[in-house]
Amino acid sequence: MRILLQFPEGLKQEALRHAKELESEGNEVFISASPTYGACDLAIDEAKNICADKIIHFGHAEFNKVEFNVEYVEYSIDAPMNMLEKALPQLKDFGTIGIVVTIQQVHQLSEIKEFFEKNGKKVVIGKPYGFAKKPGQILGCDIGSAASIDRDVDAFVYFGGGIFHPLGAALATTKPFFAIDPFNSKIESMDSYREKHAKRSRGKVLAALKSRRFGILVSTKNGQHNMALGKVLKRKIEDAGLDAQILVSNTFDFESLNNMREFDAFVNTACPRIAIDDIDRTAAPLLSANELMEVIRMKGELKEVPGY
């Protein structure tokens, strides 16, 4: 069998070992060297170009159905649990907590739940919907397991590495949110990020009020492609008497976007985190779809202002 292996950045160091194992079983193996941003980013074009029979995608759970043979290999990491004890003082005022994790810590979810329950907490774990497949699991672009229980909890706890995933969940919820990083022995409140994001979002909207020419980013990645939304937004912009063009790419290069100086603002329809995490990488405002609609609404109101 001809197989293409695909690894996220944090697991690329495992590529050679897995390739050798599969070759020893009689397979012809290739390794994708492209950046991999998640299960939404399958190397289907590369696989087809080399006539591969299958992609083996490491590190993520299934994201959505695709018309190609893809085997997902989830990676579980046994994170040290001692940081849970250290987090208790910060959680003393919260009786009911929601727990969220990434796929790497899903197997430890029951142990985390049991720990907090033994320490007097009521624990709520949200059911998956959308792209996430397992209870309590969040993705960078799917925080339904958190948002669905926001009204039922007093606070949230994320257990896992980094702040990329808990940031998305914190922005979609309203309760105090704590990120426990067992790998770096760190506990961080995410609440300040909400206020910072709200201010930056407002700043982008205000900066885009003078914009007349909009570039709409539409990704060709299999799990991010949303041409339908791109066309709807283009029509909304043009109905407001403004100009819009759809910009298509597999991976958006921000230096290239900055060379498109005729555009006054960009609108993201690809990975939703682009309009959160990458807004400082474009010279022109980089808006989400919701922020664009706010710009159009405010522009309509400003037309009524004499002298505008």
297 three-state secondary structure: helix
For residue range 244-268, list pLDDT tens digits in order: 999 999 999 999 999 999 999 999 9
Please give the order of strands across the beta sheet that includes 155-159.
122-124, 96-100, 155-159, 177-181, 186-189
For residue range 136-165, list pLDDT tens digits in order: 999 888 889 999 999 999 999 999 998 889
Q: How many helices (H) and strands (E) does the chain have?
A: 11, 13
Q: Is it the case that residue 3 has pLDDT exceeding 60?
A: yes
Nearest to 8 by CA among 159, 181, 137, 161: 161
CB 136 within 8 A of CB 100: yes
- Name all domains of the chain by residue range, CATH numbers in brackets: 2-73 (3.40.50.11840), 82-189 (3.40.50.11850), 201-302 (3.40.50.11860)
Q: Is it the case that residue 70 has pLDDT exceeding 80?
A: yes
CB 39 within 8 A of CB 61: yes
Task: Give the percent of the chain with pLDDT over 70.
Answer: 98
For residue range 159-185, list pLDDT tens digits in order: 999 888 999 999 999 999 999 999 999
C-alpha to C-alpha distance for 104 and 82, rounded to whole angstroms? 17
